[in-house]
Amino acid sequence: MGKQALEGVRILDIATVIAAPWAAGLLADLGAEVIKVEMTGRGDAFRAMGPLKDGKSIRWPSMGRNKKSVTLDFHYEEGKKLFLKLVEKSDVVIENFKTDTLDKWGIGIDVMRQVNPDIIVTHVTGYGQTGPYRKLAGLGTPLQAFSGMTYMQGYPDRPPVSPPFALADYVAGLYAAMGTMVALYHRDALKGKAQEIDVSLYEGIFRMEEAMIAQYDLMGTIRERSPMPSGASCPIGTFETADDKYVIIVCSTNPVFEHLCDAMGKRDEWLPKYAVAGDRLKDPKPIMTAVSEWVKQHTFAELKEKCDAAGVPISTIYNIKDCFEDPQYQARHDIVDVPCEEFGSVKMPGIVPVFSETPGEIKWAGQKLGAANEEVYGDLLGLSDAELADLKQQKII
C-alpha cells in the first residue's frame, strides 16, 4: 500500500455516537491517524447501540474502524493533563459535547491553544455554537424534523415519516469532515490561522432545501408531504412492472423526457407539445397515467433494456440483499469483508470516494475499548509502564 492522502495528520476523536465520530472515521479511511478517546470503563455509547448480536453492537466494527481506541477520564486533573499532552501532538480535535462543555471541564479551546496554538477544533452539536438554542440537547432524528425535511416526507393523508436511519447525523458528519479538511488546507497550505468549525445537525439537511426555500420566499408556497419530489419533473414516481417489481423513473430534464418517448415507441403526440417541463407540469396526469400503463405491460428486465438503450435512468427499488448481489456494488468494492475480533469477520461499507493515486484503506475493524492505550500513551507520549499501571489503577485510563 502506497502513501495515503492524509498520512501525517493526527486527529483526536473525543466525540460519541454518530455524526462527529463518523466524520473522524471518514478521514481515518483516507490515512489520518485517528485516536479515539473514550470514557474509562464504558466507552462510546455507540458500542452498546443496536442492532446487537450476542449482546454486541454489529455497527461498532465499522464506526470504529481505523481508529486507535484509548480510554481517558477528563474529570480527573491527571486526565485533563493527559488530554492536553495529546492535543499538543495533534492537528485536530473533533468533539460533539453540548456547547461550552469543554470549557466547563477546563479543557476548552483557549486551554488547548496554550499547548498547541495550531490545533483545529471541529464542533458538532444539535443547533450549533450560537443562537438561542445553542445549549439544548440535540439528536439526529429530532433535528431532522427541525430542518423542515420530515414535514415533507410521506403521503398527504398520513403523518410525516422519518428516514429509517439517522440521515441528519451522517450528513452533518460529511460537513464536519469537509470543514476539517478546509481548515487544514487553510492552516497548512495557505499558512492561515487554526480555526474552529461549527457544525449543527440540522443545517446540513437545510442546506439541501434550496428549492423549498426559494419557493416559499418568492411564491409563498409551503412544500407539503409527497412520496416523491414534486413540482419540478414529469413524469416522476414509483411504477409497478408486470412482474410485480417497483421501479423509479424520473425525467428531471427535457432531453431525458425525449429519451423516454423513444423508449416508449416515439410517442409523437407528446412532442413538441410536452417538450418543455413547464408544459408537462401544467397537466401531468395524462403523462403519468400513460407511463404507468406502459411500465405495467413490461417486466423489469424488459424495461431496463429499453430504458438503458434509450438513455433513460431507471432502477428497481433495492433492499439490502439486492445490494449485496448486484455486480455494480461488487465491482466498486462497495461492500467489504473485514476481520473482526467480536464476530470473526463482518461486512461493512467500502471507502468513498475512490482516489486514483492515494486510495483509502480499512486497516482494522473497531478496536476493543482501550486497545491502543499502551501504544498511544507509551509510544506517543512516552509514559513508562509504571506510570501506565498507576493511571489504570486510579481508573484515569
Q: Rounded to a whole number, what is the distance in angstroms from the first to the last CA of the chain?
A: 33
CA torsion 51-56-59-65 (nearest 10°) is: 180
Exposure on the CB side of residue 95, measured as CA atoms within 13 A? 21
The CA distance from 74 to 102, in Å, is 9
**Whether residue 334 lies in the annotated active site:** no
The CA distance from 18 to 170, in Å, is 7
Q: Are 27 and 353 in contact (CB under 8 A)?
A: no
The CA distance from 134 to 358, in Å, is 39
Q: Is the dihedral of CA 129, 133, 139, 144 positive or negative?
A: negative
Collapsed DSSP state (helix, strand, coil) of residue 56: strand
Task: Give the number of other CB atoms < 10 A from CB of residue 147.
Answer: 22
Collapsed DSSP state (helix, strand, coil) of residue 300: helix
One-character DSSP codes across 115-177: H-TT-EEEEEESS-SSSTTTTS---HHHHHHHTTTGGGBS-TTS-----SS-HHHHHHHHHHH
Residue 253 has what DSSP assignment? Answer: S
| Active-site residue identified among 169, 243, 385, 390 | 169
Which position has the grid cell 470516494? 353
Q: Are 89 and 380 in contact (CB under 8 A)?
A: yes
Q: Are 342 and 367 in contact (CB under 8 A)?
A: no
Q: Catalytic residue numbers?
A: 169
